[in-house]
Structure 1
């Protein structure tokens, strides 16, 4: 079991708990993506935000995060105004 938490600086925090890192990455991408999509920013800015901030964190969770969690360690990654952390839960 893992607990995944994330924050968008000066905006909101959220969390997800589950068994599968890939599912957690999908949830992270969907929930943060929905917030960004609803932000009122121009479409080009939303796309840039997704590419520059969201994608690197999600990819890191899928790779380095999955490895760390499989070894019972925590993982975290920040990109611009976005931070995500995952930890094993007993």
Structure 2
């Protein structure tokens, strides 16, 4: 999996219920054609990053087929999740 592009936006919590800051990352990712995640229209990874003080973590993520906009029910492996977290932290 390779991240080829991204966009970021801060998520506002008008209720004040959520502590810290939240950011939504939309990551364009490429995977090999033989990967089970491969889609012809392309793949996007939506990541909600939680920043509370010195701690930054992935609060939520999902894969989206860019062509159909369907959510794909796949999970990141532990090393992939760490890579995505590091990438997002570097872009903040």
Class of the TM-score when normalised by the shorter of the 2 chains: 0.3 to 0.5
Q: Please identify which structure carries the higher helix content.
A: 1
Q: Please identify which structure carries the higher strand content.
A: 2
TM-score, normalization by structure 2: 0.35
Bigger RCO (CA 8 Å, 6+ sep): 1
